[in-house]
Amino acid sequence: MSAMDKEFSRYSRQIFMEEVSIEGQRKIGNSRVLVIGAGGLGSPVLQYLAAAGVGNLAVIDFDLLEIHNLNRQIIHQEAFIGQPKVESAASFVQQLNSGISFTPINEKLTTDNIENILSEYDIIVDGSDNFETRYLVNDHCIKMGKTLVYGSIFSFEGQVAVFNYEGSKNLRDIFPSPPNPEDVQNCDQFGVLGALAGITGTMMAMLTLKVILGINVPINQLTIIDSKNWNFNQLRY
């Protein structure tokens, strides 16, 4: 089997879709996507973008893998506990799809390095777990003209949105400023069911692929996932 035939066979089930086709698969293969965070949200995002054949995929994270991460960060394994998450992520992606370029960035995203890092990518997917990083990423995506796929989770609730896509609004149009740190509840204190990260992260991956393919991208809309009561609502802004 030639390399071209092998690639067609691998992605055939999405190539067969009228909305994708060979042309769309080329777009996916030529895309450059950076994922912020290799945690609960970043894991399913990386999994499905690598599986879809995103040609240039990267992740930035500076954390080490801990055992309590494993209930929701499904690309990691026990064998990597104590090692950088990006190295574990690289091992997963290499085994899943060796035909794409994957870049692990073992750094903390800061005001000093963010422009240099973001400049290499067309779409930014933010799976970070703190407001400081979310606003830092949002503001620089606006400054640099980058499309941002946003997600967050807490307890039973998830949120997803596409910001700064073809002139659409951004995070500050919903929440003008971050909350006071003492008012912020987080998963470390109050917990989260791992499957919620899977639901939310998979939706983020789907939105990313829709942006790449230009398929009915929802803008100026925040989707709120209430997995406890099984409600999915859209907030227009």
* Rounded (to 5) percent helix, strand, coil in the chain: 45, 20, 35
> What's the confidence (pLDDT) of residue 191?
81
The pLDDT confidence band at residue 5, using thresholds 50, 70 and 90, is: confident
Tokens standing for 176? Answer: 């003008």
Measured CA distances, 89 to 42, 105, 204 (Å): 10, 10, 18
Q: What is the per-residue pLDDT across 146-173, written as a single tens digit (0 to 9) for each? A: 999 999 999 999 999 999 999 999 999 9
Residues facing residue 5 across a β-bridge: none
Q: Could you tell me which residue, 189 or 133, shows the higher pLDDT?
A: 133
pTM (2 d.p.): 0.95
Q: Which H or E run includes 209?
A: helix 194-213
